[in-house]
Amino acid sequence: MIIGVPKEIKTDEYRVSITPAGVAELVKEGHTVYVQNSAGEGSGFSDTEYEKAGAALLTDVAKLFKLSDMIVKVKEPIPLEYELFKQKQMLFTYLHLAADKVQTEFLLEKGIRAFSYETLEVNGRLPLLEPMSEVAGKMAALMGSVHLGKYHGGSGLLAGGVTGTHRAKVMVLGGGVAGKAAAEVAAGLGADVTILDINMERLHYLNDVTPANVATLYSSHDTIKDLLPECDIVVGTVLIHGAKAPKLITKEMLGLMKKGSVLVDVSIDQGGCFETSHPTTHTHPTFIEDGIVHYCVANMPGAYPRTSTYALTNATLKYVKALAKHGAENICQELPVMVSSLNTYDGVLYNKAVGEAHDIKSKVW
């Protein structure tokens, strides 16, 4: 199969979808890999490294798309890239379609055979989302702490405090991979941390493995309201597989919070779990509403692209190989877990949650 690796052009995105080592494995299995010039530079990979791995470099991205059977990306296609795709071309990337009707309609109209990283489910886990969730979760605690700084509009409280002073209180909504990572880093900074989740089994696990300054609580609307007045940082990591994130903190609830507190919305790719959230960029990561700092960067792991690219390739390469070997026509029969990754195919939507989000009819594969 001919595989295309274009340079990411989303604002402030420096990851690349495959490392040179990953390219070498694909080439070894007989596939042709086209990599756009400088696609890996943001992650610290030179064109020379890709050439040594067996990739063919192309300057013309339109030619790359035209020649390729499958496009492997990091982030969802943006409108500037839509015209590059061929009818019924394969695409493997993060899609987050429940929060993006325009992209959903494009994929359907073009007949794109689109498989998403974030919906691929194996034994109840999301193995292609987990590495980026871990990066984003760790970042969430760091960014929340940084933006408590007065020069960022925060309250001026140091997250871990110092001898004789108060420590920040951090609430983490969602105890999954991102939530656990956020809690561990916030605790490591010295903050007092509370994780909220509705899965009691998960809460028992978190209670056992997280540091002593991390508490666990069953999540409810009333519990969140009770904790908000004392919180300095709130990290939202809630996830419903493939669907829009629920709005756990409303605009009205911001009035319960201390001015200069920080909301970090890790769920922003899926629409955000705070009512007042809207996507931001690394260049302009925050905005202030009702005196509360909002950090809602839609591609958080892009800030640490070298770590993120290695972690992403470690997780995705197995499935890229499988798609390249079997093709879109046969992959769901040969590797049934890919049914959960399939979102659109020849103009038909195969993700129920996305269909419900956009009132589009979906089918079961």
Has residue 267 been placed in a domain?
yes
H or E element in which residue 292 lies: strand 292-295
Contact (Cβ atoms closer than 8 angstroms) between residue 196 and residue 223: yes
Tell me how crowded residue 195 is: count the other CB atoms within 10 A of its CB: 29
Which of 257, 285, 303 is at the close of a domain?
303
Same domain for 147 and 217? Answer: yes
269 pLDDT above the threshold of 90 = no
Note whether 164 and 243 are same-domain residues.
Answer: yes
* pLDDT above 90 as % of the chain: 96
Give the torsion sign (CA, 121, 125, 131, 136).
positive
Same domain, 144 and 177: yes
d(CA 171, CA 18): 35
125 inside domain? no
140 and 196 together in one domain: yes
Judged against a pLDDT cut of 90, whether residue 256 lies above it is answered with yes
Does residue 317 sit in the same domain as residue 205?
no
The CATH number covering residue 136 comes to 3.40.50.720
Kindly report the average pLDDT of the chain as a whole number: 96
* Domain match, 109 and 176 both: no
Mean pLDDT of 18-31: 98
Dihedral of alpha carbons 297, 303, 304, 309, sign? positive
Query: Do 32 and 104 have their domain in common?
Result: yes
In a domain, 187, yes or no: yes
Q: Is residue 22 part of a domain?
A: yes
Q: Name 27's Cβ contacts closer than 8 Å, sequence gap at least 6.
A: 33, 53, 54, 55
Determine, yes or no, domain membership for 293: yes
Region 139-159 average pLDDT: 97
| 236 lies in the same domain as 319 | no
Full residue range of the structural domain in which residue 59 is found = 2-119+305-358
Whole-number Å distance between alpha carbons of 110 and 334: 25
Contact at 8 Å (CB) between 209 and 230?
no
Q: Are residues 102 and 189 in the same domain?
A: no
**For residues 163-175, average pLDDT:** 97
Do 58 and 171 reside in the same domain of the chain?
Answer: no
In a domain, 185, yes or no: yes
What angle separates helix 177-188 from helix 200-209, to the nearest 10 degrees? 30
* d(C-alpha 170, C-alpha 6), whole Å: 39
DSSP letters spanning 108-128: HHHT-EEEESTT--BTTB-TT
Phi and psi at 72, nearest 5°, equal -115, 115
Residue 339 has pLDDT above 90, yes or no: yes
Q: 277, 303, 329 — which closes off a domain?
A: 303
**Number of domains within the chain:** 2
* 112 & 140 share domain: no
> What would the pLDDT profile of 205-252 be if each residue is shown by its tens digit?
999 999 999 999 999 999 999 999 999 999 999 988 767 889 999 999
Strand partners, 345: 348
pLDDT at 313 over 90: yes
Among residues 287, 303, 319, which one ends one of the domains? Answer: 303
Q: What is the pLDDT of residue 244?
A: 80
Q: Catalytic residue positions?
A: 96, 269
User: What is the reported pLDDT for 18?
Assistant: 98
pLDDT of 307 reads 97
How many Å apart are CA 174 and CA 199, to the nearest integer?
9
Q: State whether 186 and 261 are in the same domain.
A: yes
Distances (CA, A) of 212 to 80, 187, 191, 192, 193: 48, 8, 11, 9, 9
Instruction: Tell which residue, 50, 82, 80, 29, has the closest CA to residue 317.
Output: 29
Global pTM value: 0.91
